[in-house]
Chain A
Amino acid sequence: MASTGNRPARDFGLGLLALAVFGAIAPWIGLYPVFVMKALCFAMFACAFNLLLGFTGLLSFGHAAFFAAAGYAAGYALKVWGWSTLAGLGFAVVCAGMLGLVVGALAIRRQGIYFAMVTLALAQMVFFVFLQSRFTGGEDGLQGIPRGDLLGLIDLSNDLNLYFVILGVFLATLAGCYRIVHSPYGQVLKAIRENEPRALSLGYRVDRYKLLAFVLSATLCGVAGACEAIVFQLASLTNVEFVISGDVLLMTLVGGVGTLLGPVVGSFVLVAMESYLAQFGSWVTIIQGSIFLICVMAFRAGIVGEVIKFLQRRDDRSKARMAEGALPSST
């Protein structure tokens, strides 16, 4: 295995490059930029969520709260305070991180299934707070958020300009996730996922690691949420509903829990599905539910997970064949 030590890094680099190339040509091969931007925002959201579920083993059912909070914060800063786009984005990300700190500090006091229920309940509380607060515009939400420009150089009201900025933010977020997962800190998170009591007995302050993972995840959700609000120039209550927390969970599950590129694939699949099925109304819910059932019953590795498994099997087979071939020459 020593010779394949830097293999994940190379694979990930290739994957990132492929995504960048695909992203750069996407508008010219008939993909509508706003659609791709939506998928990219949800991909960031799902990657942030996967940081928690896939790499720390914590199932949060309340990530919609961070996504939406960042959207509102960005919208308010841009629309009411008239901040620049970059400052609004930064403010939104900080807000999401702070909210993550509060929710995370409460939620990590319980484990497993209770953790999921606590995050769900706290997110529902955030929903009611946003519903009743004046700054969110209640049922109307914040509409007509100005997109602004990037450092006075690039006009973001142009879809294509904004598209490339969002693509850049997405690639940076993905690289950031890779960095976190493959750092010593990420290794500790994996240890906690695999066996929390053992990690505790080795002297790791498990609660602090979990809390930091939660805050990081919420912060990255904030990046996604703020971008989404800027793209659609809208921050509304729809994003706080727990259905969104379910959506991001499904994206991660379909793409592959605990793989870096899985959430990206999953979000593209589901955003595409939603936009094609929108005309069928409640059938979207039925199909999503069925996909949940299929994923849990028979497809737990997800798309990317299955591909990785397949590649590994092929690798093993070719190694075995090489060993066989080497046998006669050595005798």
Chain B
Amino acid sequence: MEIFGIPLQAMLGQLLLGLVNGSFYAMLSLGLAVIFGLLNIINFSHGAMYMMGAYLAWMMMEYLGLGYWWSLAAAPIVVGAFGVLIERVLIRHVYKLDHLYGLLLTFGLALVIEGVYRDCFGVSGQPYGVPEALRGATNLGFMILPNYRAWVVVASLLVCFLTWFVIERTRIGSYLRAGTENPRLMQAFGVNVPRMVMLTYGFGVALAAMAGVLAAPIIQVSPLMGSNVIIVVFAVVVIGGMGSILGSILTGLALGLIEGLTRVFYPEASATVVFVIMALVLLLRPAGLFGRES
């Protein structure tokens, strides 16, 4: 079976790959949006945290012999704790300054983290095996579905949904939303806002680390994987606008799919299509698809 002269099998394969990438974009932009909502800074080191998650998985396998499932549980906690420390020691001190300083600070942080990993592990990628339980593929009749990729999509959608649920439907989430609207008033009501901010940063960073662990068996684990993805995620965030949680999840997935489709029909443009869409959105709807003009 063919669609527009492209074998259906190849097209579905690329679409699945697009969806996988889209889930990473969704998880990363979700973390960026949550952090931005409360801290008002763009976390440039998000890509570095994603890379740290993947490396933690690799190191746990290499040095401790602990498998994929252990890393999936431990890496977000470790990186989240690291994020909390960073917030405490560094980021906390720039809240009262221009927002741009937050961007510069986290950019410097990303350079340091990336440099340390490059010094320790070199720039070449490290292979990380697919876990035992998810090896192989399932034949769906119209396509062969690699189990691991299906798991990545399902797992990240689940995490995104849970995050959305917690923020929009629970008491903790209501604090978070209120803190985004008016942190001073929250403080006056007796909520420990600085602690909330610290934990929010840790949580956003933990999401990035989890995306890193999920990505480890698909792409090569390398110190450069973070900076490669973060610029695309920034474009995703500009397209979606950071006003809405659901918006950033949907934009991430949709752009992954569009990237996959472009890879089928016009491969040369697959690296630039997200940026072209960003330019179009800026022309037509400057505040972003889900954004509110401030």
A interface residue numbers (CB < 8 A to B): 59, 106-107, 109-110, 112-114, 116-118, 120-122, 124-125, 128-129, 131-132, 242, 246, 249, 253, 281-293, 295-297, 300
In the complex, the answer to whether A129 meets B105 with C-beta atoms within 8 Å is no
Write the nearest CB–CB distance from B272 to chain A, whole angstroms. 5
B interface residue numbers (CB < 8 A to A): 36, 41-42, 90, 93-94, 97, 99-101, 103-105, 107-116, 118-119, 227, 231-232, 234-235, 237-238, 268, 271-272, 274-276, 278-279, 282-283, 286
Q: Which chain A residues lie closer than 8 Å to B268 at the CB level?
A: 132
In the complex, the answer to whether A293 meets B105 with C-beta atoms within 8 Å is yes
**Residues A296 and B104 in contact in the complex (CB < 8 Å), given A242-B231, A286-B111:** yes
**Residues A289 and B101 in contact in the complex (CB < 8 Å), given A117-B42, A242-B231, A297-B90:** no
How many residue pairs bridge A and B at CB < 8 Å?
124
Residue in A closest to B100 when the chains form the complex, CB atoms: A59
User: Cα distance A249–B271 when bound, in Å?
Assistant: 25
User: Cα distance A109–B97 when bound, in Å?
Assistant: 23
Residue in A closest to B32 when the chains form the complex, CB atoms: A117
Contact of A285 among B115, B235, B238 (CB under 8 A): B115
In the complex, the answer to whether A122 meets B103 with C-beta atoms within 8 Å is no
In the complex, the answer to whether B108 meets A109 with C-beta atoms within 8 Å is no
**Residues A113 and B272 in contact in the complex (CB < 8 Å), given A120-B234, A293-B109:** no
Contact of B238 among A117, A129, A295 (CB under 8 A): A117
The 10 sampled A-B contact pairs (Cβ below 8 Å) are A109-B282, A116-B42, A117-B238, A121-B232, A285-B114, A288-B108, A289-B113, A290-B108, A292-B108, A296-B104
Write the nearest CB–CB distance from B167 to chain A, whole angstroms. 21
Q: Which chain B residues lie closer than 8 Å to A113 at the CB level?
A: 36, 41-42, 99-100, 103
Q: Which chain A residues lie closer than 8 Å to B107 at the CB level?
A: 246, 249, 292
Residue in B closest to A297 when the chains form the complex, CB atoms: B93
Contact of B112 among A117, A253, A286 (CB under 8 A): A286
User: Cα distance A124–B94 when bound, in Å?
Assistant: 28
User: Cα distance A290–B111 when bound, in Å?
Assistant: 8
User: Cα distance A131–B268 when bound, in Å?
Assistant: 11
In the complex, the answer to whether B118 meets A282 with C-beta atoms within 8 Å is yes
Q: Which chain B residues lie closer than 8 Å to A300 at the CB level?
A: 97, 101
Write the nearest CB–CB distance from A14 to chain B, whole angstroms. 31
User: Cα distance A122–B105 when bound, in Å?
Assistant: 22
User: Cα distance A122–B277 when bound, in Å?
Assistant: 11
Which A-B residue pairs are the 3 nearest by beta carbons? A292-B108, A289-B111, A285-B115
Q: Which chain B residues lie closer than 8 Å to A117 at the CB level?
A: 42, 234-235, 237-238
Q: Which chain B residues lie closer than 8 Å to A284 at the CB level?
A: 115
In the complex, the answer to whether B272 meets A282 with C-beta atoms within 8 Å is no
Q: Which chain B residues lie closer than 8 Å to A246 at the CB level?
A: 107, 111
**Residues A128 and B271 in contact in the complex (CB < 8 Å), given A113-B99, A297-B105:** yes
